[in-house]
Amino acid sequence: MKAIVKRSAAPDDIAFEEVKVPTINDDELLVHIKAVGVGIHDSYFLPQEINYPYPIGIEAAGIVEETGSLVTHYQKGDRIAFVSMMQPKGGTWAEYAVVHQDSLILPIPANMDFTEAAAVPVAGNTVLRALTALHLKEGDSVFIAGASGAIGTFAIQFAKARGWNVAGSASPQNHDYMKSLGADKTVDYKDPNWASEIRDWMPNGVDAAIAIQPGTGTESMHVVKGGGTVITISGDRIEPERDITAAFVPHKADVRDEVKQLIQEIATGTYKLVIEQTYPFEQGLEALQKTQTRHARGKLVLTLE
């Protein structure tokens, strides 16, 4: 099968190659991939024990090709979107991928195509887990650092749906975009005075912040009121101050039911899914480089159809 693989332990040794179709265990599914969600982590979310060449990627959408004897909830022909991380048999940037039956698997609504479905699992799951750590009530405020990408696109909408006041940072060309999603206040992250603008908007500080982009956690802390919360999606380690809770995304939070509901709500138009660009599979390396610039608006997706 065709795959985009990591060929060695060297950081950027990624190429387009032909590899064997993986085989499944009794508790796994083999999925014929139709579309792949592109993410910043795709080339380095890898298992500890790895056999090269190793297909990269952690999310996709496709058709179930085969199921193991212990799989009861899915059958051949099912249309699914899924997250498959640290899978020794390879990731999702391939014509076929293996997924364990206990992974995050989302049935695709009848009126949603594979390209749309592939853009939902990682961003939706990440934001919904992050929100479980923000104990906010209607009327509270949140600042989202780096709010124009796939995660921020969902974060703005989910926060507004909960009745929160929302501010977001991004490049100026994305400010109208963030406002179209519901952001009440937008700032330019390159403007040295952006924190002052947030404090002018919320003089006592915001109740919480979601730091999506690397390096934004400590800066976000400065606009949060004492006793508030900062969640770092990038994994930044930050030193708490003023009784502010500094936390990572709670990875043990089980929000799979909420993500399954989300994909249905996207299909009915309750939430907006934004795909900035689709790429044919052969241009996967170009898409990876684009997402690594961290200037994508919404999601990038590879198509294999």
Residue 128 belongs to domain with CATH number: 3.40.50.720
Domain membership flag for residue 95: yes
Domain membership flag for residue 256: no
Domain membership flag for residue 151: yes
Confidence (pLDDT) at 69 = 97
Domain membership flag for residue 184: yes
The mean per-residue pLDDT over the stretch 154-164 comes to 98
> DSSP letter at 34?
E
Q: What is the dihedral of CA 128, 133, 136, 137, to 10 degrees?
A: 60
Same domain, 139 and 243: yes
Side chain identity, residue 260? K
Same domain, 135 and 242: yes
pTM to 2 decimals? 0.94
Same domain, 224 and 238: yes
pLDDT tens per residue across span 209-249 = 999 988 888 899 999 999 999 999 987 888 888 999 998 89
Domain that holds residue 26: 2-120+273-303
pLDDT tens per residue across span 254-301 = 999 999 999 999 999 999 999 999 999 999 999 999 888 766 678 999
Percent of the chain with pLDDT over 70: 99
Q: Residue 253 corresponds to which tokens in the numbers above?
A: 């939070």
Same domain, 91 and 31: yes
Total number of domains in the chain? 2
Angle of helix 121-131 versus helix 150-161 axis, rounded to 10: 50
Q: What phi-psi label fits residue 304: left (phi over 0), alpha (psi between -120 and 50 degrees) or beta?
A: alpha
pLDDT of 305 above 80: no
Count of other CB atoms within 10 angstroms of residue 182: 16
Same domain, 129 and 243: yes
Same domain, 138 and 183: yes
**Residue in 225, 299, 282, 201 with CA at minimum distance from that of residue 15:** 282
pLDDT of 178 above 90: yes
125 or 213: whose pLDDT is higher?
Answer: 125
Same domain, 145 and 102: no
Q: How far does CA 81 lie from the centroid of its chain?
A: 13
pLDDT of 124 above 70: yes
Same domain, 147 and 180: yes
Query: pLDDT averaged over the chain?
Result: 94
Residue 56 belongs to domain with CATH number: 3.90.180.10
Residue 86 backbone phi and psi in degrees, to 5: 60, 30
What is the C-alpha to C-alpha distance for residues 300 and 149, in angstroms, rounded to an integer? 10
Count of other CB atoms within 10 angstroms of residue 257: 9
Same domain, 7 and 116: yes
Same domain, 140 and 239: yes
Domain membership flag for residue 162: yes
